[in-house]
Structure 1
Amino acid sequence: MTQHRSDYGSEKDTEVDDLEWEDHVMATVAGEVRRRRKELGWSAQDLADRCEGIGYPIPRNVIANMESGRRASLPLVEVMVLAKALRMSPISLIYPVGYVDEVRQLPYQDPQPAFDALQWFTGSSAADDATDYMLDHFLAHDLEVRSALAAVESEDYERWKVKTAPNRVQREAAERALARYADQATNAKHELRSHRDAIREAGGTPPHLPSQLDDVDPPDIDTTEENDL
């Protein structure tokens, strides 16, 4: 990993031995906890108090030992709680984009930009050997929901313009726009339906749909249980 900030250790670039990769990941998290805590103007006790308020106490001495590198392990649950307490995302503790230039996402790998590693970790950029297709369907599903909602909202607006057009020219222009957005909404709903079907076929439960897209699922699909999840 390449580092340039004092919160992460040496001011100089630091190459960590492969055998120390796990410790290096922990040091990165600890460095970002320390940097963010200082940015907020908090003491270690302030941070400990906020962790306790969340419902998962992390004592001040544990935080101090983590930041100083004296701690032997850092459980994932603590990363989650610390991120919440520090008002940030857990992934930003693991890959502090903008504060750490390069990381090695796994042992024996060459350093790569921190943002690339972050995308790999979150599934935004799948690994070459990735086979977690359920995640792919959920990511695509989210994009299609946004596309469908935008088209439906535009369709409703153009429908209103058709009804309220003060003259023939404006009404005809609104009708043409209405037809375009109607086609876009139809196509987006079709793609959305295909991803929902694929999720079900793989044994998963599709996400809840907003009310504007209630007509995406066929009438014979019981979504009551899905919407309760």
Structure 2
Amino acid sequence: MSDASTLPVSTKVIEKLRVARQANSVSARALAEAMTEAGYPIQRSVIANLESGRRAEVSVDHLVIAARALGIDAAILLRQITAPCPHCKGTPPAGFTCNTCGGAA
């Protein structure tokens, strides 16, 4: 795998959403159902294709609705990717929230 700093933004967004989904013990099916209920119809297979790399890009709409369904802030997630916090480098220790950027692991 290539250096994380060279990956496209979509790849990093997909990875952060996958980590958040798994950390919250939310299945891909449950996420798809929550996103559909929120007005963004999506099938579990699309989420699986994104997370496996078979689909390489994610829309802004997908990011916002998925983040909302997972209880995370899409703006903080994007900030962690595009301009990592100088304190935690966008990845605070597991179980902690960075006091500087508000990002959570």
Q: Report the TM-score, using the length of structure 1 for normalisation.
A: 0.34
Structure 1 residue 50, shift from structure 2 partner: 0.6
C-alpha separation in 2, matches of 1:40 and 1:16: 26
Q: How many residues in Structure 1 have an aligned counterpart in Structure 2?
A: 88
Aligned partner of residue 85 in structure 2, secondary structure: helix
Contact 1:34 1:67 in 2 (8 A): yes
Describe the SS at the equivalent of 2:11: helix
Question: In the TM superposition, what whole-angstrom CA distance separates every residue of 1:21-49 from its partner, at most 9, and x where no partner exists?
Answer: 5xx21111111111111111111001001
Q: Where does residue 14 of structure 1 map in the other structure? A: 3
Unaligned runs of 5+ residues in structure 2 are 91-105
Match of 1:114 in 2: 84
2:96 maps to none
Q: 1:73: how far off?
A: 2.1
Structure 1 runs, 4 residues or longer, greater than 6 Å off:
none
Preserved CA contact (<8 Å) 2:67 2:73: yes
Structure 1 or 2, whichever has the larger Rg, is 1
**Cα distance, 1:62–1:93 mapped onto 2, change above 3 Å:** farther
Q: 2:60 aligns with which of 39, 60, 76?
A: 76
Name the counterpart of 1:45: 29
Is the contact between residue 16 and residue 77 of structure 2 (CA under 8 Å) also seen in structure 1? yes
In the TM superposition, what are the counterparts of 1:22-61 in structure 2 within 5 Å?
24-61=8-45
Which residue number corresponds to residue 90 of structure 1? 74
Which amino acid letter does the alignment assign opposite residue 53 of structure 2? G
1:65 aligns with 2:49: yes
Distance 1:40 1:16, change over 3 A: closer
Percent identity of the aligned residues? 31
**Alpha carbons 1:28, 1:93 under 8 Å: kept:** no
Preserved CA contact (<8 Å) 1:30 1:67: yes
Structure having the higher helix fraction is 1
For residues 94 and 55 of structure 1, the distance between their equivalents in structure 2, rounded to whole angstroms, comes to: 22
Structure 1 residue 15, shift from structure 2 partner: 5.2
TM-score (ref. length: structure 2): 0.69
Distance 1:27 1:70 in 2: 11
Unaligned runs of 5+ in 1: 1-9, 97-102, 106-112, 119-229
Q: Secondary structure at the match of 1:51?
A: helix
2:9, 2:40 → 1: CA distance? 22
* 1:172-217 residue CA offsets vs partner (Å, 9 max, x unmatched): xxxxxxxxxxxxxxxxxxxxxxxxxxxxxxxxxxxxxxxxxxxxxx
Q: Structure 2: which amino acid aligns with 1:30?
A: I
